Amino acid sequence: MGFTKYQLLARLQELKIEFTCYDHPVVLTVDEQAKYVGHLGGALSKNLLLKDKKHRLYVVSALAGTKVDMKILSQRLGLGKGGLRMAPEENLLQVLQVPLGCVTPFALINESASAVSLLLDQGFRSKQTCYFHPLTNDVTIALSSSNLDKFLTSIGKQPAYVDLEASPTVGKDSPPDLAHLVPSGVPNSSEPAVNVTPTIIPPQNSAPKETGVKVESKVQGEGAEKPQSKVDTSVDKFVNDIFDIISPLFISDEVSKKLNNVQKAELSSVLDDVKRRATPDLESITTSLKNSVYTSGFDSGFDTMLNSGLSGRPSRN
């Protein structure tokens, strides 16, 4: 079992890190979060969990207004144009040990996330206050970038601030400028996180004194955790359903009557090959749309999928 938000708050206090907690209803997008803490000033963040073709994972934490081009970022990491994609929900649950909508640099405190690389927007360094979820999206933490650095250093992560909107030339004479941030290993999602037993902090008594307006949470009972409902969204099943619908269109009863056994076998082999080649792209596009819905809201998530997932996608021969 991974860290809880109260165990994380306890760790921050042990490190003498100054922070402020703001309780609010569960939020799934930056726009929703802004309704409760946006008026306080500071920098809201959007956080993505990405995966490369070798199954290495990256958390990209950016200012809400920063435009992150995954194809350019992939090239800067030395992974080629299509080397990055949105990680599936299973990686959030098994590696970061947080549900959808709760990706955060704080999730790297879990031992299961030790091999995950973190890229931070350099814009955070110019902000007096930065906002992140503390492993759950019914609370927002406000702290300075220097205090975030202190936390990351304590868990063995060297803070790496990057200009995420830069588009430097990458070629023979210009090596990838972010290649050193590619993780050396793949997270072992089957390895359980280290159990910890720090002091549990009752939110209204032991949390640091707030400097802003506190929004009342709808959690019932002191220190109670809201149950996280598991969303049944299987990308594999969705993709298989697509092929189950398409396949009969190629081998209808009428077509089947006109083919001999050899031709039927050849057509079946062609369809299997098409499925094998198309499945990775369909899974990537579907996962991108699903995760974008939670990070940007449905409308902007659909636009993100179209702009980043479909346009410029290399065809498979």
pLDDT digits (tens, 9 = 90+) for 23-45: 999 999 999 999 999 999 899 99
Are residues 21 and 207 in contact, defined by beta-carbon separation less than 8 angstroms? yes
Is residue 64 within 8 Å of 54, Cβ to Cβ? no
Nearest to 8 by CA among 147, 136, 188, 145: 136
61 contact partners, CB below 8 Å, separation of at least 6: 45, 46, 47, 104, 105, 118, 119, 120, 121, 124, 132
Q: Is the pTM of this model over 0.75?
A: no
Which has the higher per-residue pLDDT, 54 or 194?
54
pLDDT tens digits, one per residue of 228-269:
434 445 667 777 777 677 766 666 666 666 666 666 666 666
Percent of the chain with pLDDT over 90: 55
**136-153 pLDDT tens trace:** 999 999 999 999 999 999
> Buried (b) or exposed (e) across 253-269, using 16+ Cβ within 10 A?
eeeeeeeeeeeeeeeee
Q: Of residues 66 and 302, which shows the higher confidence score?
A: 66
For the chain, give the mean pLDDT: 78
| Three-state DSSP class for residue 21 | strand
Taking only the tens place, the pLDDT of each residue in 120-132 is 999 999 999 999 9
pLDDT value of residue 245: 74
Q: Please compute the mean of the pLDDT values over residues 188-206 and round it to a whole number.
A: 41
Better-predicted residue by pLDDT, 59 or 219? 59
Say if residue 102's pLDDT is above 60: yes
d(CA 160, CA 121): 8
